[in-house]
Amino acid sequence: MQGKLKFLDDWYESTKALARHKRAMPALAAVSFAESSFFPIPVDVMVIPMVQAAPQKWWKIAGIAAMFSVLGGIFGYMIGLFFFEAIALPILETLGKTEYIAKFRDSINANGALWVFGAGLTPFPYKVITIMSGAVPVPFGIFIAASVLARTIRFFAVAGIVRLLGAQAEAFMKKHFALFTILCFAFLVAAWFGYKALSGH
């Protein structure tokens, strides 16, 4: 990766290196928190090698990633709620995610929980949704419930797959996990809208 995007490659390698540090758990908590509001590198980059190194701690690693990701999501929500123009918009511009703003504003009022859940579970940038959820805003209780459910499912699934597959896990994740989570989310969305249609809501 060359030019102005090279810093992302550097951040990726630096983040992955944190997983081998003696204080990897606090580093995981910090990265999980930051990734939910402004840090561009997925938390999975740390979770995968940490579980490979200590498979017996897979549930603890997943729990820390999920908990601090939700806390970071609350921070992102507050940025969107109180500082969207001053702070949130420049962050989204830096991350190249401003194209999501109009789409999100158009649909968030009707299906806010699905947006938050989908971003928390799939490769869609969760940080965009946390900030925009505060800017719209999505009801805070709905935001928290969707975030907790999605981030718990995501990180326990990642850690559990690594626990089962060991050294082959990283290659499996790169090839299949994104598609798997997108299909799961698509199924849940279809079930949700099917329920609404049948119930007449």
Query: What are the pLDDT digits (tens) for 37-47?
Result: 877 778 888 88
Range scoring the smallest mean pLDDT among 7-11, 131-135, 193-197 = 193-197
Which pLDDT score, from 0 to 100, does residue 187 have? 53
Burial of residue 166 (CB within 10 Å: 0-12, 13-18, 19+) is exposed
Q: What share of the chain is helix, strand, coil (3-state, %, to 5)?
A: 85, 0, 15
The pTM (predicted TM-score) of the whole model is 0.74
CA distance 78 to 81: 5
pLDDT per residue over 53-110, tens digit each? 888 989 999 999 999 999 999 999 998 888 888 877 787 777 666 666 666 666 666 6
Q: Which of 34-38, 97-101, 176-180 has the highest mean pLDDT?
A: 34-38
Indicate the length of the chain as a whole number.
201
Mean pLDDT within 13-40: 83
Cβ contacts of 166 within 8 Å, gap of 6 or more: 52, 55
Instruction: Say if residues 47 and 61 touch (Cβ distance below 8 Å).
Output: yes
Range scoring the smallest mean pLDDT among 50-59, 115-124, 146-155, 159-168 = 115-124
For every residue of 102-131, DSSP letters joined together read HHHHHHHHHHHHHHHHHHHHSSS-HHHHHH
Which pLDDT score, from 0 to 100, does residue 186 have? 63
Mean pLDDT within 2-13: 56
CA distances from 125 to 17, 29, 40, 153, 192 (A): 22, 18, 9, 16, 22
Burial of residue 167 (CB within 10 Å: 0-12, 13-18, 19+) is exposed
Mean pLDDT within 137-150: 88
